[in-house]
Amino acid sequence: MPEVLVREQAVAETKWFGYRFMSPLAATMLFAELYREILKRHVRAQQDVERAQQVRGLAFDLFDAPSRVLTEVWNARLRADEMGIPYQLLIEFGLDFASRRKWQNPPRPGQVFGTENSRWAWFVKLEQFLDGRFEACIRELSDLPQYRAESYRGLQSQMDLRDYLFEELRSTTQPWAMMLQSYCLVHRYLPVSVAIGAVPKQMRRNVISSIRSDVAQGHLVVAPVERLPLVSFVPACFGLPVPRSSGCNGCPFAVQCEKSSGIVGETMNLRHGTLSPLQDQRDQTRKEGQRRRTSRHRARKGGCMPYSSPSI
């Protein structure tokens, strides 16, 4: 649907770093998979093992055809991307929040954001829940070679991660040498020449000496060097049939993206006569329903005779 595609384009630059090289479909499938896994774990902890084995959460054929549940999952994933939260943290918190508020059943994907009445409490508790939990998610990015120093191409997602990590370094209470070893050598998110700028000048010599000592003693296990094909760097919004935004101007894939989105639009129009067949079908169904209701109303109104007093 057009409005969903526009949202997908917008969240390409706000979603958590781990999803910025995924297509919207791949990201939604990951969200559904994590929801199933975390729901089972939640039921096992809150109820019992036998009950957890019976819980599915979502049907395994969810992505075979359009459905109300698929729309719910897709929109929930989009909201997570708009907030920039890793999916597993959002789902874990949503289930825990509902459990603490004595919900009778665990929340569905669209309900992990709480209710209208609990909106303020939900945000307050979420902030408390997330404190300190992003570090594990940062470590998981080491499985994405797109963010390693040898893969740096000046892409917006890569620059955003570097800015994020640099701010983390500036505010860290952990030992400088340990943090630089992690970010610069083990995971290679940042070059040492950039990261050292976050260290106070009077401490830089000692930090570098400590890192060199650990390297010489073989204490570090570094991520492997992987040379990636160009397609690995395609952003999540690539090929969406929507008008270009301001964020497209500096994208190195802008020309190929525009061509691909044109092909997508032409293919949809050839096959279905429209860019959004599902939306058009729903609009048509809604209009037909409105016409039927109007016809019934007019029929009832036409069948009513005006009331008159009996003759005396």
pTM (2 d.p.): 0.83
Higher pLDDT, 134 or 94: 94
Please give the pLDDT value at position 49.
66
- Across the chain, mean pLDDT equals 87
Please give the pLDDT value at position 312.
41
Amino acid in the structure at residue 239: G
Q: How confident is the model at residue 26 (pLDDT cuts 50, 70, 90)?
A: very high
Average pLDDT over residues 58-73: 93
Nearest to 95, CA basis, from 40, 168, 158, 153 = 40
Map out the domains of the chain as residue ranges.
2-131, 137-216
Q: What is the pLDDT of residues 45-57, one digit of tens each?
A: 877 666 666 777 8
Q: What is the pLDDT of residues 157-186, one digit of tens each?
A: 999 999 999 999 998 889 999 999 999 999
